[in-house]
Amino acid sequence: MNRLQANGLLLLAALIWGSTFVVQQVGTGGLKTMSFTGIRMLVGACFVLPFALRQYRKLVQEEKSFPGSGWFGIFCTGVVLFTAAALQQYGIFHTTVTNAGFLTAIYVPLVPLISLLVLKRNIHWSAWPASVLCLVGTYIMSGAQALDLKVGDIWVIASSLFWACHVILVGTMAVRTRAPLVVACGQFFVCGMCGTILGIVVEQPSLIDLQSGLFGILYAGMLSTGIGFTLQVVAQRFTHEADAAIILSSETVFAALAGFVFLGERLAALELAGASLIFIGIMAVQLLPMLRNRARRLSHGKGA
pLDDT tens for residues 70-103?
899 999 999 999 999 888 878 877 877 666 767 7
Question: Does the structure show a pLDDT above 60 at 35?
Answer: yes
SS3 for the chain, per residue? CCHHHHHHHHHHHHHHHHCCHHHHHHCCCCCCHHHHHHHHHHHHHHHHHHHHHHHHHHHHHHHCCCCHHHHHHHHHHHHHHHHHHHHHHHHHHCCCHHHHHHHHCCHHHHHHHHHHHCCCCCCCCCHHHHHHHHHHHHHHHCCCCCCCCCHHHHHHHHHHHHHHHHHHHHHHHHHHHCCHHHHHHHHHHHHHHHHHHHHHHHHCCCHHHHHHCHHHHHHHHHHHHHHHHHHHHHHCCCCCHHHHHHHHCCHHHHHHHHHHHHHCCCCCHHHHHHHHHHHHHHHHHHHHHHHHHHHHHHHHHHHC
pTM as predicted: 0.81
pLDDT tens for residues 113-158?
888 888 788 777 778 888 888 888 877 776 655 556 667 778 888 9
pLDDT, position 201:
92
pLDDT tens for residues 209-237?
888 888 888 988 999 999 999 999 999 98
Domain boundaries, the chain: 3-292
Question: Does the structure show a pLDDT above 90 at 54?
Answer: yes
pLDDT, position 226:
92
